[in-house]
Structure formats: C-alpha cells, structure tokens
Structure 1
Amino acid sequence: MTDQAVESDDETAVGSSPRDVTARQFLGRRRELKELRADIERAGLDTLSGRKAPRARVLLIAGRPGTGRTALAEELLRQVAERYPDGALRTRLTAPDGTPVPTERVARDLLNALELPAPPGETADDLAERLREGLSVRRVVLLLDDAGDAEHVDPLLPDAPDCLVVAVAEGPLTGIADVRPCTIGGLDTKSALELLTTHIGSVRVTCDPRSAEALVELCAGEPAALKIAGGWLARRPKESVADLARQLHSADDAGDGPALVRVFRHAYATLPGPAARILRYLSLAPEGYVDPHTASALAGCSVSAARATLDDFVALGLVRAVGTRLPQYEVPVCLIPLLRGLTESQDRPGELQLARARMLERTVRLLTSCRAVTEPADSPARKKLAGLPSALRFPDPAAAAEWLHARQPALLAAARLAVADGDLDTLARRLMAALVRALVAHRGTEAAAPELYAVHGLVLDVAGRRNLPREKAAALLNLGDLDAGTGRTREALARYRAALDAGRAAQDPYATGRAMESVGGAYQQLEDWHRAADWYGRALAQRLARGERADAARLHGRIAAVHTYAGRYGEALRGWRSAIAGYRKEGDVPAQARALSELARVQEYAGRPEESLRICQEAAEWARQAKDVRLQAALQLRLADTLERLGDPAAAKLHRGAAERMLGEEAARSAVGGAPEANPSEHAANTCEIRSASPED
C-alpha cells in the first residue's frame, strides 16, 4: 500500500531522506519503545469490562517539536509493521502556521492513499465515514502527526479493533478514552553523543568527551538542536566542540531562551548575508514546501545559487531533503516560528510582500510552461514556450507531469495562502487559472476533480471578496458541474442558479446562457421534464437572439430529448426536425446523422415503424458520408429490429450481418492504429474557465 506522506517536525534517526525511515539508524528511546509496544498489548477498559473494543487502540506520543517525537512514532511503525499487513498511513493534522488542517482534506488524502473513492465536494463527515468504512476491513497502522486536540483526531479513528492509531501531539488528548501518553524529552547522553558523532565523526568527540557532554547538555539532548550543532561543527573542521560549547554557554548566560532557540540563533548568526536572507524567506514557502525555484523567487537570486544554498542548509540541519527524484526540501516545523520571528524583526512588510509576489509569479510561469509542453509542437503555446529561459522549460510532457505531481501539495498550499493573503488577488487568480489548466492538461478533468473543486472554491472566495461577478459565475458553474458529476444534483442546481444571477450582474451572455442550459440539465437529471424544457427554451431564445445557430440546433435536440422522456412525441418530433434543419444549415454532417437517428427512434416510439425505417435509412446514408462507422453499425442494428417488427426477417439478417462486419473492421483498425479520435461534436460537456485571467497565461 502506498503510504500517505507526512513530513516530520523533528528527527532522532540519522539519514538524508525524511521519508526513508526504515533505512536510517535510530538512536535511543529503548524504554519508550518498550512502553509503547507493551501498551498495544495492554487490556483496555472495554476488554476488562467484557466488551469487545469498538475502536482501534490509540497510542499517544507527547513532546515539544524538535524532541524527536515523530521519529519515535516512525520507529514504532517500523517495529510493528508485520502485525499490520495492509500497511501504514501517515498524515499531518496541523499546518506549519499552527492552524488545524481541515478534516475534509485529511480524510481525502487518506482515502487517496487507500485508493478508495473520495468524491469532490463531499462533506468532511461523509469523507470521514468513508474512511472509517474503508479501514474497518483492513489491518493498518495510522500515524496522526502533530495532532492539536481530541476533536481533530476523533473523526479519523477506525471502528476496527485490529487497527492501530499512533498520535503525535504536544500535550494530552483529553476526550479520547483509554489513552496513556508517552511523554518524551531529550535523548539520553549516550544516544545524544552518538547522534552528534554521526555529524562530526568520533575523533572530535573522543578527544574532548567532557566538552561533548557539555554540548549535549546545552542542547538539552533535543535531536533538532543537536543536528544543527553537529552540522555547524561539520562545516568548520577547525572549530572544536569546546569552542561551540563556550559560545552557546555565553548565550545561555545572556538568557537567550530554550536550547533549540540558542543553537539556531548561533548558526543563523554565522551565515553569510545572502544565505541568511534566503533562510529567513523560507518561512514564506507554502506550508514549508520549497524547491530551488521557490527559494530563487523568494530571495531574488538565481536558481543554481538557491539550490546550492539549500544543499548547504541540509548539511547544517536547517532544512531537510525530501526523498524524491526532483530537488525538493522541507523546512522543519520546529524552525518555522523562529524564521517568522526573524522576518518580522529584520524585513520590512513591503519586502516580504514583494517576495511573495515573486514566488507566485514564478509559480504561474512554471505552471504555464507545464501546460504548454502538452500542446502540439507547432502550437502558439509551444512557440511561446521556446522563448522562456531554460530554467522555466520542461524537456517533455513526462518531466512536466512528474514536476506537477511532486509539487501538487505545495501548489495547492500556495493557492490557499495567496487567497488568504488578500493583497495579491490578481496574482492569486492567475495562479489558480494556470493551476486548473495544468491539472486538466496532465490528468484530465475527471481524475483531477477533487483538486479542481478546491481551486474553484478558492476562486469563488476571491470573486466574492473583490466583487467580480464574471469570475463568480465561472467558479459557480465549474463547482456546479463537479457537483452534478458526483450525483449531488440539487446542490448543483443551486450553484447554477447563483451563477445565472452572477452572469446577469456581469452582463456576460456566455455565463448566462451556460447557466440556463445547466439549470435545464439539472432539472432533466431530476426528471422534472416540464422545468427542464422551460429552461432549455430560455437558453434557446438567447442563442437565437445572438445568432448562434450551432448552439441553437444543439438546444433544439436537448428540448426534443426531454419531450421524448416525457412521452410527448409530437413536441419531440418537432424539436428533432428543428435540430436537423439547424445542423444542415451549419453543414455539420455527423450531428445531422445523429439527429436523424434520434428522430427515427421517436417515430418508432410513436408507433410509426414505416416512417422510422425511412428516416433510419436516411440517417445511415448521412452517417456513411460522415465516416462514422459506429453510428452506421448502430443504425444497421436498428434497421434490423424495425424490419423484424415489420415481418421481414431475411432483410433484418442482412442488416445485422452488415453491422457485425462494420464493427469488426472498426475493431481491427483500432488495434492497428489506436483508438479512433472522438468526434468533436460528441464533447457535450462545457467548460467555463477563470475568464479574467491574463491571456498571456
């Protein structure tokens, strides 16, 4: 099973990749691990009372960020992995800025990790229920990192005693029954010295063991502080452990606060000015996710310089490299408040705003490039792409798709932060428009529906705040389409009606026409044939007034289909004849053939087989001219059925044979040359983009 990735806020294990936990050496915590494993076997309150445990056992690891609490949880998961054959799931419940991650987003991520359905737009309660149902038939261990309170944890607890939940928090989770916290602090001296040795080697520790022990004491045995101290010494082979201990002791005498704060400030003070600025600005990265492009845009330096600096920060223990093929980094959660404090004290608000704007602008350009690389080689988008700097270009669609997949959490976080900021709404709208186009280009509308739903919701927030009725209408239409696609037809209907009001306020005929047609489609889905025909008729009147004959012909067909469902065959016949006339004027032969096919069907429903036979033959001829083999075969089968009803089985057999030959030849052509290209007129689904975005994107 694919694990849901989570970035730990602290490390006791030694290694370069925070996600490759099992490959690293774990130091210390033997007593804590023994207690936790014993707690799994401990009889709970339900067992003692003779009842079967209704929920999974919950273990709690409590400690401050930086003490190695997440690494301890990961080591526990590694040790008990054999008992949970369906794997491990990981997720974070608190964002780096301290705000709780919405339950809807957490449950959706976990459902995706389980490869279970997570329909876009579904409520947090429904998604949590889906998650509990999925876990009820599995034996998994669930790591809930950085849990804030019991209310955030409780909806995610599996109703399955065979599962295990390991929660990581700063304090107790009052409200969850039968949970005993395992509280941790710093490492013991022996383990802390081993951790320090992995960074600076054994010689410097062996030569001055007292100073090494003093340094461990000054770091309070906290893994995060020890990693920074070890990284600082590793980069300065001429500095002794005693030198660093003296400098930190002086800071301690000055009353500079907790161990991690002292060590971090000492390391920061020795950084060159440009590197210190990059480090400070990493606090602006979306939820701590950073890559060379993000760091480059934030600090206003080259991509190569940003990457070299980030690699230096990895060696210093200030950031962590994420175990992916692309260069990706994360800022430890325990350092983000310290970095934010530095930006507030050393950088002007205008400078920070400019850095955010540069980051969003760079992200927009990368997303534009990511989408453009999927276009044909001679398209305007590809020609424009050739003029971009090489650092902003992707060599092929596969590389662009890999970047989009790796950066998707950061991209969605960037969109949320941009909307929450409120002062960069123009850039936020451009970012969201580019993100939607890139997701659709690489994943398709259906596969990317959950992400698109979230982005369109953000667009709606900005449009409401800025009083932008066109964008509000577009967002409501897109959200309505996604609601309708997941069966929430009444919710979709409400959005379509709101989109109609917004489109009228914007005096946007496209949005109003789309909204009226969508309202009709929603009523059709609800089998309210009268209202469906009425709304389609309103949309038709607008199309006719604007001279949009192709759309008018399509709407005639939709009205005819509604009348057919309602059994009003006379109105249905008139509608299909109007549609056929419109397609004939437009010269749309495939659409004319399909409309004739539907007209023949209605004639058959109306009890006129001879007339249905004649029209079906005419439709087959138009389908032949349109080279639509599948439609030809379908019409041959319909002719066969009609002839059988009219008492001519011999002719019916001939038509069935012709249909079988057509389908066989079509299958052979598809096997040789791939699937046939879909007819453009078959794509009935409408899309409504964020239309005020810059045309350059």
Structure 2
Amino acid sequence: MRSHEFGSNNELSGTVHGASIQAGVLHGGIRIVSETPAAPAAGRIPWQFPPSVRMVDRSEELAVLERHRARARREERPALAVVSGLGGVGKTALALRWLRTLRPHFPDGQLYADLGAQSADGPASPAEVLGRFLRALGVPAPEIPATLAERTALYRSSTEGRRLVVLLDDAATAAQVRPLLPAGGNVTAVTSRRRLPGLAVDGCVSVQVQPLGVEAAVELLADTLSDDRVSAQPDAARTLVELCAGLPLAVRVAGARLAARPERRITTMVRALAEERDRLEALAIDGDHDVRAALDLSYRALPPEAARLYRLLGLHPAPEFGSALADALCGDGEPLLEALHDASLLLDAGDGRHRFHDLVRLHAAARAEEDEPPPERARALRRIADHYLASATRAEELIDPQHRTLARDFGAGPVVVAEVGEDAETALDWLERELPTLMAVLHRARPAGFPSIAWQLADALWPLFLRRKFYDDWRAAHDEGLLAARESGDTVAECRMLTSGGVGRLGAGDHERALEMFERAARLFADSDDRLGQARTLNYRGLALQRLGQRDTAADLFRRAAAELPEQGDRRAGALARLNLANVALATGDAGAALRHAGAARTVLDGEGDPYNAARAATLLGHASLAVGELDEATRQLSYALRILRRMAAGYEVARALGVLAEVAERRGDRRAARDHCREALEHYTTAGRSGSEEAESARRRLRELEG
C-alpha cells in the first residue's frame, strides 16, 4: 500500500505523486489586512441566489425591510434582517423577493448559503461557508486560511468597499451567523425558524413571518390553479386554504394536485383533506399542522414508479441532490423527477439539481418507513452510498490520477456515476458542493452495515481536503474511516486512515495527535512486515517531531528515510526526506549540507515529475547560495522557484521565496527592490493565513528597517 509523504519548512506539501498542502501554526490572534480591499476578480462576481417562488401579500414585511435598509444607509452601517417563522411559511421567498429588488444598487454580487439548521447532520460550519464565500469572491483556494478567525478576517477585508447582498438561509443560532456577516454597507438577510435575538446586538431588524391570511392564501391558490375554479367556488377555496393552515407550501401542494385534474371540484379536495386530519401529528413540527394531509394526497396521486422514487429519495441524507441519484435508485429517473416536480413535491435547485422542502423531505422519509420493506430500504441505502463513492472516486481520478491504490467495494447492481466535471478544477468544485452529503453518507455507512464505504469515501476525499483545507471534515472523515477500518479488521485501510488522517491533524496544528497516529501506523506496518510503509512513516514522524521542537530527533528520522526509501523503491519520498534535511541544515547554519541535500532533492523531484516540491527545493538552494555569498546563483534558483510556485498559486511558498529574494536584493544594495519583495511577501503571508508566522515577522522587521 501507499501513504503520503511531506516536506518540511513549516509547510505540508505533496502526496506521493505531487499534490500539495499548506499548513502551519499561527502565532497570535491578529490578521494584517490591506486597507484597500481587492476588487472582485474578473469573471468572479457571484450570483448565487436560488430561483424565486410565487409570493403574495407580504407588502408590510417588505416595507419594514426596506425602511431598515434605508436607515442603515443613512447611518453608514450594514443592513441586517432576520426573517423568522414556521417551516413552509415563506421566509426564503420573502427574503429573496426583497434582496432581488436590490440588485441594481448592489452590482458586486449575491452570496447564498443554506446553513442547515434542519439538516439531519447538524448545522453547517461557519468556517466551511466562509471558505465557499471567499472562493466565490475570487480568493484562490490555497490562500484561504485554516482557522475560523482568520477566514472571518479575510472575508470582512474582502467585502469592505464592495456592494453585496447576502442570504443566509435556515440559520440555527446567532453564533453560526455572526462570522458570515460582511463588512461595509452590504445587506444581509437571515432566515430561521427561530427569532435569533442574539443578533440584536448586531443591529438587526426582526421580521416574523406569519401564515397567510385567508384572502392571500386564496389568491395563491388561484395563481396555482390558473383557471376559474376559485372564483366559481369561493367558499370551498376558503375552506381549503384554512385546512392548509395558511402555509404557502401546503397551499401550493394542494393547488398543484387540483391543477393536474382540471375537472375536479375544490370541494373534493376539501373532503379528502378533512378525512386525513387525524394523520397529521407524524409531520407536526413547531406547530406545522395540516401539511401531511395535503402531502399524502399528492403522494397517493403519483404514478407507482414516481411514488417509489419519492419514498427512496426520503432515505437520502441531504435535502438537495442531482438527477443522477434518481437514476441510481430507479433506473431512468428523469421522467419520475418530472412527475415529482409537477406535483410540487420537488423544487428546482438549478443546474440539474433538485431540492426537498424540509417538511416534504420528512414526509418522504415517513412514507419510506411505512411503505417500503426493510430489505428494499437497505438496498436503496447501499445504492445511494455506491453512487456517491463512485462519483467521488471519479473526481479523485481527475484531480490526482495516481492517488488511488486501494480497491473500491461496491454492492450488487449497476453503479451510476454523476457528472463531476472534465478537469481537476471542476472536479474539486463538485466535491466541495457535495461535501455535506458525502460526509453524511460516510457517517451513516458503518451503522448501516457497509463500513468499507466509510474509509473508502474518506480516501476519495483526500484531494479535496489536501487542496481546500476543510480541516474539520478532514478530521471527522478519517476518524470515522479509522473506526470502520478497525471494525472490519482491515489493517491496510487502517494504515491509510492513520497516515492521511494524521496529515490533516498536522495541518490543523494538532501535532501531538498527528505523531500518535503516525507511530501507530508504523507499528502496524512493522507487524505486517511492510518495510516500505514503515519507511514512509519516518518522514511523517520527523515532520511531527520537528513541529514539536525536537529538531535533532527529526533529523535522524529524515536521514533514515533518505537512505531507506530509495532502497524500498520510492525515490520521490527519499528526495522529500533530503529536502527536509536541507531545511534542518539551513536552520542550523550548515549551508554546505543544505546545498548538497537540496540539490540532490531537486534532481530527483524534477525526474519524478513533481514540479511543486522541485520548486521548494530551488527556494532552499537559493537560500543556501545566499548564505555562501553566491548571489547570482541564488537569484537564478529563486526566480525559477517563483515561476513555478506563482503558476500553482502556492501563496505561502511564494512568500518564502520572495523573502529570500529580498535578502539577495538588499545584499546587492538595491533597497527599493528589497522593499517591494518584502511587501509582496507580506501580502502572500496574509492571504495564506500565515501573517503571524516567524517568516512573516522576519519580513515585517526587514521592511521596517528598509523603510527607516
């Protein structure tokens, strides 16, 4: 089996076949940000709002919201509104109606996030949402810091001076929302079933959305039917919307059912709903009564195959999904999805994606529990898991084709793979978009009886974790994968979860836990007489010890790795060990040894097709050449490194190379060039979340001296 080796220099870097990771310890709690925010990247103005739905009789609420915005504008502060109410009452529709009217005044874009208060897997992490927002605003993924505090600071500096509107949908708490509030004169709407009084300190206006009045609900019913039945049967229409409790969701569902039967009188639907009222408690949430009757009627009117897909989709662990999931569950799913849309049981989420309203999702799950035999539910769950594992594996192949060396175990029957993109970037975007669902599938696999899905899905997510730094999910995925591997008695899988999971711990700053995981993997490799695997852990353990301040012990492990790994057939990992040794030698003042180790490492890494780590070796060669007074050679090596690293958007390593280049310029007497290099290096340290690192502090001190 294979693991992943990494170089040092306060940066994790590279899988065995060339990927990279940036991480380190942030010292202090202050972010240094530019006083002038960057303009939106060309072509990266985000327009993320979902499609609007029909809304009636919300003029009073809209007036309150607009008065609040006008007051905030006069007072030169952000406008924040919390729109709360029952599920299905139209909170999101109201917020979208308001925010869409503001587009002419806010040309820099719209940001949207579903915060998942009603999700079965818990609310969304603010850090993850911030990562998505920053990427949407044009911040390169490698430059997004790991911690919530750093991401919040970068988000606020990125939104200051822009004209944006933000919709935070289905919020759980004020604490979840607060890091997501933009800076400047931007407008944010938050929807929640709760009132979120904690946001009062942030200057919000609270709008409580009530169920529709009878007349407004009748208007919505008439709009849904698009015929004359409401005007012909006004009393029956009033009774029907009263049975729907004034909830727009229930009115739309009942109306869609009637619209599909133009010959049916409204009184027929009224009688049917009245007969179902004793069955509503199973779907009652926070007082949302009378909804299940309407949903049951629509469900029973579905064609049998569409009804079965509806039930099986209720087993899906997230409210949103792509069309390919329906194919995985029922073969040709497209016409069945259309039937569900026609019955208003699904919402269009755009880009070939579909979404359940939370109450409808609960209803579908209840129907699956009642109407689908347990063996069929188990088979459907496995098809869902196989679909996401196969799709994530396809994305993994596009991003890092040499990463996967362990098998994927699928259940019986054909496995449907989603369209995940055509290149590495689009595949990464697909993985990020589906990450909440992938994590939900991963966590449910072991209790459902297929533990191999858990660790294999964690393994397939490696390229996403490595490049976009979702450290919380990285840790959670590999912790669950480790449990699944141990439960299965799969030592090879356990070692993979320990090594790749340990890398995530190391990147997040949990160095002691990372060392424990690497040492456990080393023992397992030794017990199974896997000498190559055991040798690879030498680099891991050395990096952890180096982070823990045990430089001499780390150097001993790097020397052993440099000698043993090529003998075991892994020249690249051996070169990374030489790179780590060069870094240690440079730190201890032995420039000659640093030149030898870095030069040997670069030769091998160039030959192995690893440009990222070859560029890191060139940076070390430039630093060592400077130490021995060879300024021309230092400039040559550093210029090469910068060409490669800029192209790969490796912000932290770019900053390190610029810092050395500033020293070279200063040695030549070119103080202006030295100042420019220092300023640019500090910008990269800041955007990479390393403004508190030792290198950044050194660049800051040098800049002060040069400007003095």
Query: TM-score if structure 1 supplies the norm length?
Result: 0.67
Q: Secondary structure at the match of 1:428?
A: helix
CA deviation string 1:183-234 (max 9, x = no partner): 2223344443343233322233333233223322222332111211121112
Q: Is the 8 A contact 2:58 2:94 kept in 1?
A: yes
Q: Is 1:237 matched with 2:262?
A: yes
Q: In structure 2, how many angstroms separate the alpha carbons of the residues matched to 1:576 and 1:116?
A: 32
Look up the match of 1:203.
Answer: 228
Are 2:345 and 1:321 aligned? no
Among 62, 74, 98, the alignment partner of 2:96 is: 74
Match of 1:312 in 2: 339
Equivalent residue, structure 2, for 1:131: 155
Partner of 1:215: 240
Q: Distance in 2 between matches of 1:544 and 1:457?
A: 33
1:282 to 298, 303, 313: 313
Structure 2 CA distance for partners of 1:374 and 1:353, relative to 1, 3 Å: same
- Which amino acid is the alignment partner of residue 294 of structure 1? L
SS of the aligned residue for 2:199 comes to coil
The Cα of 1:493 is off from its aligned counterpart by 7.6
| Structure 2 Cα separation of the partners of residues 127 and 510 of structure 1 | 38
Question: 2:111 pairs with 67, 89, 98, which one?
Answer: 89
SS at match of 1:202: coil
Distance change (3 Å), C-alpha of 1:608 and 1:198: closer
Q: Deviations over 1:153-191 (max 9, x none)?
A: 23333454x233212122321223254532222334444
In structure 2, C-alpha distance between the alignment counterparts of 1:595 and 1:153, rounded to whole Å: 43
Which residue of structure 1 lines up, in the alignment, with residue 565 of structure 2? 543
* Residues 183/534 of structure 1: CA separation in 2 closer, same or farther (3 Å cut): same
Q: Distance in 2 between matches of 1:3 and 1:548?
A: 44
Taking the aligned partners of 2:626 and 2:211, their CA distance within structure 1 comes to 82
Cα deviation 1:124-145 (Å, max 9, x = unaligned) = 3332333333334434332221
Match in the other structure for 1:675: none
Give me the whole-angstrom Cα distance separating, in 2, the residues matched to 1:562 and 1:43: 55
Query: Could you tell me which residue of structure 1 aligns to residue 454 of structure 2?
Result: 428
Structure 1 residues 462-521: Cα deviation after superposition (integer angstroms, max 9, x where no partner)? 20464366545534544565677x7x6x54686256323323234343443233224445
Shift, 1:77, TM fit: 0.5
User: 1:122 Cα shift?
Assistant: 1.8
8 Å contact 1:368–1:434 — kept in the other structure? Answer: yes
Superposition CA RMSD, Å: 4.7
Counterpart position of 2:302: 271
Closer, same or farther: CA 569–209 of 1 in aligned 2, 3 Å: closer
Q: 1:500 aligns with which of 519, 527, 541?
A: 519
The one-letter code sitting in structure 2 at the alignment partner of 1:231 is A
2:59 corresponding residue in structure 1: 30
Shift of 1:5: 4.3
After TM superposition, the structure 1 = structure 2 runs for residues 157-176 of structure 1, keeping only pairs within 5 Å, are 157-158=181-182, 160=184, 162-176=185-199
TM-superposed deviation, 1:237 = 2.4
The yes-or-no answer on 1:261 pairing with 2:319 is no
Q: Which amino acid aligns with 1:227?
A: R
Indicate if the aligned counterparts of 1:479 and 1:492 stay in contact, CA closer than 8 A.
no
Counterpart Cα distance in 2 of 1:64 and 1:600: 63
SS in 1 for 2:97: helix
Asked whether the equivalents of residues 165 and 188 of structure 2 are also in contact (C-alpha less than 8 Å), the reply is yes
Is residue 540 of structure 2 the alignment partner of residue 515 of structure 1? no
What SS does structure 2 have at the residue aligned with 1:499? helix
Q: Which amino acid aligns with 1:309?
A: L
Which residue identity lines up with residue 33 of structure 1 in the other structure? L
**Cα distance change, pair 174–525 in 1 and its aligned pair in 2 (3 A):** closer
Q: Could you say which residue in structure 2 is the equivalent of 1:111?
A: 134
From 374, 398, 407, the equivalent of 2:422 is 398
Of the candidates 130, 154, 161, which is equivalent to residue 178 of structure 2? Answer: 154
Question: What residue in structure 1 maps to residue 439 of structure 2?
Answer: 415
Residues 80 and 543 of structure 1, relative CA distance in 2, 3 Å threshold: closer
Per the TM alignment, residue 319 of structure 1 is displaced from its structure 2 partner at its CA by: 0.5
- Relative contact order, CA 8 A, sep 6+: which one is greater? 2
The 8 Å contact of residues 536 and 565 in structure 2, kept in 1 or not, is answered as: no
What residue is the counterpart of 1:463 in the other structure?
482
Conservation of the 8 A alpha-carbon contact between 1:285 and 1:294: no
Letter in 1 for 2:238: E
Change beyond 3 A, Cα 1:451–1:307: farther
Go from structure 1 to structure 2 and tell me whether the alpha carbon gap of 1:4 and 1:501 turns closer, same or farther (over 3 Å shift).
farther
Matched letter for residue 58 of structure 2: R
Q: Structure 1 residues 435, 549: CA separation in 2 closer, same or farther (over 3 Å shift)?
A: closer
Residue 422 of structure 1 aligns to a residue in which SS?
helix
Q: Which amino acid aligns with 1:358?
A: R
Equivalent residues in 2 for 1:607-626 (5 A)? Answer: none
Residue 387 of structure 2: SS of its match in structure 1?
Answer: helix
Query: Does the 8 A contact of 1:136 with 1:159 survive in 2?
Result: yes
Q: How many residues are paired up?
A: 558
Does residue 65 (structure 1) correspond to residue 87 (structure 2)? The answer is yes
- Distance change >3 Å, CA 270–CA 605, structure 1 → 2: closer
Unaligned runs of 5+ in 2: 1-43, 407-412, 637-708
Change in CA separation of 1:459 and 1:156 when aligned onto 2, cut-off 3 Å: same
% of aligned pairs identical? 25
- 1:533 is matched with 555
The alpha-carbon deviation at position 343 of structure 1 amounts to 2.9
Amino acid at match of 1:509: R
Distance 1:253 1:571, change over 3 A: closer
CA distance in 2, matches of 1:204, 1:587: 74
Unaligned runs of 5+ in 1: 7-18, 382-387, 440-444, 617-697
State the distance in 2 between where 1:254 and 1:453 align. 41
C-alpha spacing 1:114/1:608, structure 2 compared with 1 (3 Å): closer
Q: Deviations over 1:344-400 (max 9, x none)?
A: 334455443321111111333344455668999xxx99xxxxxx9897597x96399
CA–CA distance in 2 between the matches of 1:35 and 1:602?
Answer: 65
Q: Give yes or no for contact 2:445–2:453 (8 Å, CA) kept in 1.
A: no
Give the letter aligned to residue 308 of structure 1. P
Instruction: Answer with 1 or 2: which has the greater Rg.
Output: 1
